[in-house]
Amino acid sequence: MSMLQDSEDEEEASSSNTMRAWAHEKSHSDFKVDIPIFEGKNDPDEFLEWLETVERVFDFKEVSDYKKVKIVALKFRKYASTWWTNTCTKRIRSEKPPVDSWQKMRSLLKKKFLHTEYSRENFAKIQTLRKGTKSVEDDTREFEELLLKCDLQGNEEQIFVRYLFGLNLQIANTVELQGYTTFEELTKVALK
């Protein structure tokens, strides 16, 4: 009788796992999440917002790298579609391999739709950002947006210094006395 019970327990566990997997899949399909169309307009802010949305959709849907390139290419319209067709054609003519990784496609997109002046302008804004008439919350939000636009990564200490340099001197001095190890902790202390 114990063998029969073990068999029933295994079937029940297997059925339970299958139901959980189905429920997980169903929870993904309950939402209509799609990548927006990209027309390739000369608006870097719009491009970056589109790119971030694409990244979030890929993360949510757990899309493979190879499919990412194909899916994004299907979402190009107008100038973006023309640019992508020309890019692919030029690669074929120059005997370069096709773009088959999202990282490469993302790099090509940024090179085309994010002008070098855009990054420089936003980096300059970070350097000259001064807290004054706006609230610390508004200034923190602006600082974080500029960080994203500049695509600054890596040395968190430099980010700390840039942020603190822009704070009102009294707030900066108070924040310096507090302990923080991440940018999130730093901003929470500044907002207190």
Per residue in 55-113, pLDDT (tens digit) is 999 999 899 888 999 999 999 999 999 999 999 999 999 999 999 999 999 999 999 99
In a domain, 50, yes or no: yes
pLDDT at 28: 53
pLDDT at 4: 47
Q: Which percentage of the chain shows pLDDT scores above 70?
A: 79
In a domain, 33, yes or no: no
Contacts of 69 (CB under 8 A, 6+ apart): 99, 100, 101, 102, 105
The parent domain of residue 77 ranges over 42-114
Both 129 and 140 in one domain: the answer is yes
pLDDT at 40: 94
CA–CA distance, 179 with 192 (Å, rounded to integer): 13
In a domain, 169, yes or no: yes
Both 50 and 100 in one domain: the answer is yes
DSSP codes of every residue in 139-155? HHHHHHHHHHHHT--S-
Q: Residue type at 106?
A: R
Last residue of a domain, one of 66, 98, 114: 114
Both 83 and 134 in one domain: the answer is no
The two three-digit tokens of residue 150, written as one number: 């500049």
Both 63 and 127 in one domain: the answer is no
Both 123 and 104 in one domain: the answer is no
Number of domains in the chain: 2
Question: For 76, which DSSP code?
Answer: B
Confidence at 18, pLDDT banded by 50, 70, 90: low
